A and B are shown apart, each in its own frame.
Chain A
Amino acid sequence: MTIYEVFLKKDGRDEFRHAGALDAADDELAIIAARECYVRRGEGDRVWVVARDAIITADPGFFAPNADKPHRHHSGEAVAARRKQIREQLKIAEEDQ
């Protein structure tokens, strides 16, 4: 048996989302099982079924260093926090004078 991952969406709406996984003997049985396991109630009519082994990935260690780079966050939160910190330091400095 092979493990497959199932992604689905409704036509013209949203993006494909991961629905879950299933076991199947081959591709044809996988698409049939996906129909019964994940779209029995009309959850979507566009379905991707992908053998888990066909998904390209790498160890968490390969991706983790990117978590520590606030300058790459473009939400402005990091910059705003830093400006606030500087303002408060200046204020304290003025009061001390």
Chain B
Amino acid sequence: MSILSPAAREVIIAFADDEHLMGQQHTEWIGVAPFLEEDLAFASIGQDELGHAALLFEVIVGSDDAPIDAIAFFRDADDWRSCTLVECTLQDWGDTLVRHWLYDAAEELRWQLFADSSVQALADLAVRAESEERFHRRHADALLDALLTVDDAAGRLQSALGRLLPMALAMFEGVDGETDAVAEGVISAPFASCAEAWKQRVTDRFGAQDWASIAAEPSANRTTRHGDFASMLDRIREVLDLDRSAVW
């Protein structure tokens, strides 16, 4: 593979970790989403996000399975660069749906940062991901269109939004060396550059928000982990840990 600078690697890992954990969170709803059709659709969207993560890890380590497993499953918690929004485990379907919308609204903007990347594989991946993301957004919007017109559902979704916004803002947290990655052309601007456009989308979708009073949960450039992270990592590794030398 091309030789990536430490800064480029850090930025790609941050996005890959977000995609990986968002996919993991979504797929954990298989079998327990509110009805069968949604169960299938939501798990399928989760699979797409896992696919994006795998392709981003591939940009970093090449296409062999073993190194991808090492980076995707066997890093220490301190070496992950995911954000709190994707690390927290949500128990409520309403919260989960709002997170799906918030994440995918940002994901479109974040992929656009890689559209003209100096790393050609990332630019190619941005095109491919968008072809799937269009569907993800249509899915989230269709559900919200249906539910936001029902009083009880709208109330639950709005309170979910209130709980999630501080964590969602952490999506725009950068990583150490991000300015170097921008200078190298790996990414066209820092993640934070997407925040204003995303806030406008949130306002258009859910109504006016008092943004000045909502602070992103601090994550020290994505180096600290949410309280739910450890148990999630255990679940991800559950089968692998039975026998790490097993060949599939």
Residues of A with Cβ closer than 8 Å to B?
A: 1, 22-26, 28-29, 32-33, 35-37, 40
Contact = CB atoms under 8 A, between A and B. Distances in A.
Contact of A35 (B135, B143, B145): B135
B89 to A, nearest CB: 23
A53 to B, nearest CB: 18
Contacts of A40: 40, 44
Contact of A33 (B41, B135, B145, B146): B41
7 contacts: A1-B35, A23-B36, A25-B146, A28-B138, A29-B146, A36-B40, A37-B37
Nearest to B146: A25
Q: How large, as a class, is the contact surface on chain B?
A: 10 to 19
Nearest to B38: A33
Contacts, number: 37
Interface of B is mostly: helix
A25 B148 CA distance: 13
A37 B142 contact: no
Nearest to B42: A36
Interface of B: 35-38, 40-41, 44, 135, 138-139, 142-143, 145-146
B139 A32 contact: yes
A22 B44 contact: no
A24 B142 CA distance: 11
A28 B41 CA distance: 13
B190 to A, nearest CB: 33
A36 B37 contact: yes
A61 to B, nearest CB: 34
Given A23-B35, A35-B135, A29 B143 contact: yes
A79 B231 CA distance: 75
B37 A24 contact: yes
A5 to B, nearest CB: 14
Given A25-B146, A26-B146, A32 B41 contact: yes
Given A32-B135, A36-B41, A37-B40, 19 more contacts: A1-B35, A22-B37, A24-B37, A25-B146, A26-B142, A26-B146, A28-B138, A28-B142, A29-B142, A29-B143, A29-B146, A32-B41, A33-B37, A36-B44, A37-B36, A37-B37, A37-B41, A40-B40, A40-B44
